[in-house]
Chains A and B, each alone.
Chain A
Amino acid sequence: MIEPPSVDLVTQVILFAFPIFIVAYSLYLVRVVKGPTILDRVLAVDAFFFDVTVFVMALAAYFRLHILAPTAIIFALWGYALDVYVSKYIERGEMGD
């Protein structure tokens, strides 16, 4: 019989991982502000959005809010829409329909 990790241990591990994620987000935002071309900024915002989904899911697990969990899907779809629209505008000079 293997014991699953206790609720206290899971909470402590999520709290331990939060600062690492926050440092990573700050470094992504440095590239968003600094990036020489617009594609660099969009790539950094894209990686930032896909990591915000992880942050929202970790917040849902930390606060025990199940209603917070499906909102992470919207962030993933936003990042993809930003990628596609910006690359199409750079490539052809129009947004399309």
Chain B
Amino acid sequence: MIEDITAIAAWAGLALFVGGAVWDLIAAIGMNRLPDFLSRLHAATIGVIGGAFYPLIGISLILLGTDIMGEYRYIAAGSAALTAFLVLLLAPAGSHALARAARKKGLYRKDILVIDQQEGGETE
């Protein structure tokens, strides 16, 4: 029974790892194609949550479910899970700090901004 659960977790981890690689590629393309800083924050969020958090959880499940690393698997799997937790906490905080600095100093394109709620909320 417990072997079934760990085997299913390892297969899910493989799927998360490969899917995370595809998410990372999509985010890197978006980082180059989007027009200004506030738009590139979307691509950065996809690249961090989809391209770093999911593959780390996937590697943790792979290491727990298969005997790829022998008796040291718990050290590596725990490190992967802790890194995933830290990425999930730190990436939105860092993105918010950068967005706040860009908003205060006006380092974004105002001609493609649809609405600015702090300037009266007028569209266009």
Q: Interface of A with B (CB < 8 Å)?
A: 1-7, 9-11, 13-14, 16-17, 20-21, 23-28, 30-31, 37, 39-40, 42-44, 46-47, 50-51, 53-54, 57-58, 60-61, 64, 66, 69-70, 72-73, 76-77, 79-80, 82-84, 86-88, 90-91
B9 → chain A closest CB, angstroms: 9
Q: In whole angstroms, how far apart are the Cα atoms of A84 and B55 in the complex? A: 25
Interface centre among A11, A16, A27 (most CB of B within 10 A): A27
Please report which residues of chain B, range 76-124, place their CB below 8 angstroms from some CB of chain A when the two chains form the complex: 76, 79-80, 82-83, 86-87, 90-91, 93-95, 97-98, 100-102, 104-105, 107
The answer to whether A64 and B80 touch across the interface, beta carbons within 8 angstroms, is no
Number of interface residues of B (CB under 8 A): 63
The answer to whether B52 and A80 touch across the interface, beta carbons within 8 angstroms, is no
Q: In whole angstroms, how far apart are the Cα atoms of A88 and B8 in the complex? A: 45
A23 neighbours in B (Cβ, 8 Å): 25, 28
A69 neighbours in B (Cβ, 8 Å): 75-76, 79-80
Q: In whole angstroms, how far apart are the Cα atoms of A83 and B18 in the complex? A: 28
Q: Identify A2's interface contact among B8, B31, B37, B41, CB under 8 A.
A: B8
Given A40-B40, A43-B98, A73-B79, answer yes or no on A79-B90 (Cβ-Cβ < 8 Å): yes
The answer to whether B52 and A53 touch across the interface, beta carbons within 8 angstroms, is yes
Q: In whole angstroms, how far apart are the Cα atoms of A61 and B20 in the complex? A: 16
Q: In whole angstroms, how far apart are the Cα atoms of A79 and B47 in the complex? A: 14
The answer to whether A17 and B21 touch across the interface, beta carbons within 8 angstroms, is yes
The answer to whether A24 and B27 touch across the interface, beta carbons within 8 angstroms, is yes
The answer to whether A46 and B94 touch across the interface, beta carbons within 8 angstroms, is yes
Query: Nearest residue in B to A58 (C-beta to C-beta)?
Result: B59
The answer to whether A57 and B69 touch across the interface, beta carbons within 8 angstroms, is no
Given contacts A54-B56, A80-B91, 8 further A-B contacts (CB under 8 A): A9-B14, A21-B24, A27-B25, A43-B40, A47-B43, A54-B20, A66-B75, A91-B104
Q: In whole angstroms, how far apart are the Cα atoms of A44 and B41 in the complex? A: 10
Q: Identify A57's interface contact among B51, B56, B90, B100, CB under 8 A.
A: B56
